[in-house]
Amino acid sequence: MAVKHTKKLFVKALNKKFGKDFDLASQKVEYKRLGPEQNARKREFMEYAKKLEGKRGMTGYNPYVHAGGIPLGQRQLVPYKLSSTEYVVEGDDLHFVNNPAMQQFWDDIRRTIVVGLDMAHEVLQKRLGKEVTPETINNYLEILNHAMPGAAVVQEHMVETHPGLVDDCNVRVFSGDDALADEIDDQYKIDINKMFPAEQAEVLKAAIGKTTWQAIHVPTIVVRTCDGGTTSRWSAMQLCMTFIDAYNMCAGEAAVADLAYAAKHAAVLQMSDMLPARRARGPNNPGGISFGFMADMVQTSRVKPQDPAYVSLNVVAAGSMFYDQIWLGSYMSGGVGFTQYATAAYTNDVLDDFCYYGVDYANDKYGGFAKAPAAIDVAKDCATEVTLYGIEQYEAFPTLLEDHFGGSQRAAVLAAASGITSAIATGHSQIGLAAWYLSMLLHKEAWGRLGFFGYDLQDQCGPTNVFSYQSDEGNPLELRGANYPNYAMNVGHQGEYAGITSAAHAGRMDAFAVNPLIKVCFANPGLVFDWTNIRDCFGKGGAREFRAAGERSLVMPAV
Amino acid sequence: MAYTPQFYPGSTSVGINRRKHMSGNVEKLRDIPEADVVAIMGHRAPGADYSSTHPPLKEMGEPDCPIRQAVEPTPGAAAGDRVRYSQWTDSMYFAPSIPYFRSYWGAINCKGCDPGTLSGRQIIEARERDIEKYTKTQYDSEMTDVALCSMRGCTVHGHSLRLEENGMQFDMLARTELGNDGNVLGVKDQVGIPLDKKVNLGKPMSEAEAKKRTTIFRFDGVPMSGTVGARKPDEAVEMTHHMWELRTKWGYRPE
């Protein structure tokens, strides 16, 4: 049985924001209208803008042009506590432009490609009669970790990339075959037995079987200059050159084409699907990343599997930052407002409190994680209780209510807590999804308001697609993603759906949600972002403690 | 047998008030002069002509259309008025109306209007002379408390914020203020442009009056389902469960 959690986790965050002795329950307050000067970050922005004035020769940042001369800060500008961490940062620090950890999160995804080794080995062995042994594989990996960052092999008179600019690039292999894995040099492998708890490791190895895969992370600076579509091309070029070098091949022989085909197409796992033309980006771009893949990328499940709510909350944080702030907020719409939509789901311990309340409720009633029947009656029970609990907290703590920018955040938080609770209780993501939609309807009925217009579209008609057979909308939640028909435009949902997906599997103590290769690939200790603790890493970014990869300062004059 | 709409379930004051708003059977509490409502809306100067099509629709002629023949136009549509809006922000601290119920009121009772519902604001768009009439009805009726509700075209932030110490809803642009005589004064129009003269909107409701007239369920007023540990579902919860379950199950049907 899970440990019960202290209720009203958000009170600590509110005390940090408003002061220890502040009356959090008062419905009235004196608005001091102190303007932007009350906030350290806004003061920094204004001072820096002043410095830039002479340099730029034109006007720039000036909060006094806002709303006819009435600047931000007519209410108190409060900071944000990253949930379950000690980090307290300003809201501005959570915009992805100001937060290098958030940027690295996305860079780590788009610079990643998983490429099978077995097909290439078959070409070498069966077509060319080459011997492939653990020694040749280790030699190949040494060459590959020289070449993948952009260094030369085989050819003379080549230009190369500065190792200091591309030091985040690395390739490690993994396999479900312990005998083979044992033969690989430790520095070149992701050791499933070391990185995962024993039960998860066994499941992952069984799922991967006697196949071997390369977790390839090309240099961050490459995908920041190009895009995610570059990753498979960049990696395939270096893979082919490395095979030629490691196995003493002829650079022009036809078998190279087979290796290239395997590296670019036949043995490749992209992080995301392609998008339709109207939202076109290359492969390995955000819109095509499924909720199941997002759940598998996040690694909290291997470091804290005993706490499925915590696992799911980290996936929510990952997904809301990524889908809301970066994909919908920037790629799809462009703007600054989306940060406010996303932060509610991973700051101030609000969603944490509602989730733990729900998980405790469900555990008491159904006897533990994934013990409840996968039936909509369970969704009805859990979603109703969790939504009503959350509503009551917002009402009892006016400071909590105004902590969110508006109704969309309340809706996302209440529905996510309902969905996560129900998914953990049943071990079924579709039941979690059903609970999400009931929460939305109850919320709207209680307060006569929900989110912005989009919530009318997505959430009031949403129950009909939970179990739909329609081909374009009937996927299990694991296989739905940012481009699912009804989800493609609405902020405040996709990260939470990823969290619900994760919750179902975390409740069942599964080793992975949908793809074991993704789960193992993101266990690579060579990644720059900390995929085990999403919120802590975002906090580090906000507190200016995180060093991202792909920086150019080595080759630029000092500021 | 003639059909009598039921509008909304429940025997609590919230259920009853919701039925009143939806049916349009709302009590008139004040009479704000038409010119003052027009000034706060900010679309035209009080007394100025409407900006309508030129030449007038009657002279222009319109395409042959069975819908035009079947439906009698509103005065604003007949005159070819431009489409304008009024948008309300209603506090969560017992404002009488709340976004969905303003929208239901509009959709059910106001011809030729286009309501839009969000969490912190609610807009109705219509032909100009029609929206002026609809806005005055809302301002004058029990749907509105002048301290807890205000018209905000932009910068609407405030519905979920704590109230000012004097009981007014927070407004970054301070479009209304509480006068020394206890009356609420409109000092800026919907989008925050100062008015030539302050508009007297009358006295705010007392807290007890607002609680009596509100359409919001709250744990410290009429809760929708009791409180934690003491659940007592209102009929609104049963209705919502029913709708959700049917929508979910019918979405599953493959035909």
Which CATH number characterizes residue B245's domain? 3.90.320.20
Contacts of A535 (CB under 8 A, 6+ apart): A82, A83, A84, A85, A313, A314, A317, A346
* In-domain check, residue B121: yes
3-state secondary structure (DSSP) of residue B223:
coil
pLDDT at A429: 98
Q: In whole angstroms, what is the distance from residue B92 CA to residue B102 CA?
A: 14
How far apart, in whole angstroms, are the C-alpha atoms of residue B97 and residue B101? 6
Residue A455 appears among annotated catalytic residues: no
Q: Among B154, B172, B248, whose Cβ lies nearest the Cβ of A466?
A: B248
Would you give the distance in Å from CA A453 to the centre of its chain? 26
Distance CA A423, CA A312 (A): 10
Note if the pTM is more than 0.90: yes
Residues of chain A below pLDDT 70: 1-6, 471-472
Which A positions 18-37 lie with beta carbon below 8 A of chain B? Answer: 26-31
Domains and CATH numbers, chain A: 34-71 (no CATH), 80-108+285-515 (1.20.840.10), 118-266 (3.30.70.470)
Decide if A437 touches B, using CB distance below 8 A. yes
Q: Which residue has the tokens 């193992």?
A: A520
Contact B119 A465 (CB under 8 A): no
CA A204/CA A175 separation, integer angstroms: 9
Chain-chain contact of B118 with A452 (C-beta, under 8 angstroms):
yes
Output the CA–CA distances (angstroms, integers) from residue A351 to A10, A356, A370, A395, B199, in the order listed: 9, 8, 20, 15, 43
Say yes or no to pLDDT of B223 above 80: yes
The whole-number pLDDT of residue A375 equals 97
Chain B residues near residue A395 by CB distance under 8 angstroms: 218-220
Hey, which residues does A347 pair with through a beta bridge?
A82
Q: How far apart are the first and last CA of chain B?
A: 34
CB–CB contact B155 A67 (8 Å): yes
Whether A188 and A172 have beta carbons less than 8 Å apart is answered as yes
- Helix locations, A276-428, DSSP H: 291-297, 300-303, 308-319, 338-343, 350-366, 376-396, 398-401, 407-426
Q: Where is pLDDT greater, at B191 or B250? A: B191
Token pair of B39, please? 């000034």
pLDDT in tens, B35-78: 999 999 999 999 999 999 888 888 888 889 999 899 999 999 99
Q: Is residue B147 predicted with pLDDT exceeding 80?
A: yes
What residues of chain B lie within 8 A of the CB of A391, using their CB?
A: 219, 224
Chain A residues 450-469 with a CB less than 8 Å from chain B: 450-453, 456, 461, 463-469
Q: What is the pLDDT of residues B103-139, one digit of tens each?
A: 999 999 999 999 999 999 999 999 999 999 999 999 9
As for how many domains chain B has, the answer is: 1
Q: CB atoms < 10 A from the CB of A417, how many?
A: 36
CA–CA gap between residue B36 and residue B199 (Å, rounded): 6
Return all residues near A433 (Cβ < 8 A) that are at least 6 apart: A419, A466, A477, A497, A500
A465 in active site:
no
Q: Determine the pLDDT at residue B251.
A: 83
Which residue is listed with tokens 């969309």? A408
Residue in the block written with tokens 């080995």: A121
CB contact under 8 A, A410 and B119: yes
Give B254's pLDDT tier (boundaries 50, 70, 90).
Answer: low
3-state secondary structure of B19: helix
User: Rounded distance, CA A456 to CA B198, Å?
Assistant: 37
The predicted pLDDT at position B243 comes to 96
Q: Do A392 and B161 touch (CB under 8 A)?
A: no
**pLDDT confidence of residue A1:** 44
Residue A3 confidence (pLDDT)? 57
Task: Find the domain containing B192 and state its range.
Answer: 13-47+82-221+229-252
B194-202 vs B225-227, strand pairing mode: unpaired
Q: Is residue B54 part of a domain?
A: no
Q: Determine the pLDDT at residue A471.
A: 65
A444 to chain B: closest CA residue: B100
The reply to whether A238 belongs to the active site is no
User: Counting Cβ atoms within 10 Å, is residue A203 exposed (0-12), middle (13-18) or buried (19+)?
Assistant: middle
Residues A252, A81 contacting (CB under 8 angstroms): no
Backbone angles phi, psi at A115, to 5 degrees: -125, 130
Which tens digits make up the pLDDT trace of A291-345? Answer: 999 999 999 999 999 999 999 999 999 999 999 999 999 988 887 778 988 999 9
pLDDT of residue A109: 98
Residue B2: pLDDT band with limits 50, 70, 90: confident
Contact B120 A30 (CB under 8 A): no
- Asked if B117's CB is within 8 angstroms of A447's CB, the reply is no
Which residues does chain A have within 8 Å of residue B234's beta carbon, measured at their own beta carbons?
none
* A309 in Cβ contact with A359 (< 8 Å): yes
% of chain A surpassing 70 pLDDT: 99
Is B244 in Cβ contact with A441 (below 8 Å)?
yes
- The edge-to-edge listing of strands for the beta sheet with B83-90 is B114-117, B122-127, B83-90, B149-151
Report if residue B110 sits inside a domain.
Answer: yes
| A394 classed as catalytic | no
Helix (H) or strand (E) holding A214: strand A212-217
Q: How far is A78 from chain B (nearest CA, A)?
A: 13
Q: Which helix (H) or strand (E) holds A202?
A: helix A198-208
Considering only CB atoms, B173 lies closest to which of A67, A438, A450, namely: A67
User: Which residue, B219, B155, B158, is CA-closest to A407?
Assistant: B158
Render pLDDT for A360-395 as a digit per residue (tens, 0 to 9).
999 999 999 999 999 999 999 999 999 999 999 999
Predicted pLDDT of residue A5:
60
Residue B43 belongs to a domain:
yes
CA nearest A73 in B: which residue? B172
| Cβ atoms A26, A63 nearer than 8 A | no
Q: Is the ipTM of this complex over 0.95?
A: yes
Beta bridge partners, A116, equal: A213
Domain assignment of residue B87, yes or no: yes
What's the gap in Å between the CA of B210 and the closest CA on chain A?
Answer: 15
**Does a structural domain hold residue B106?**
yes
pLDDT in tens, B70-98: 999 999 999 999 999 999 999 999 999 99
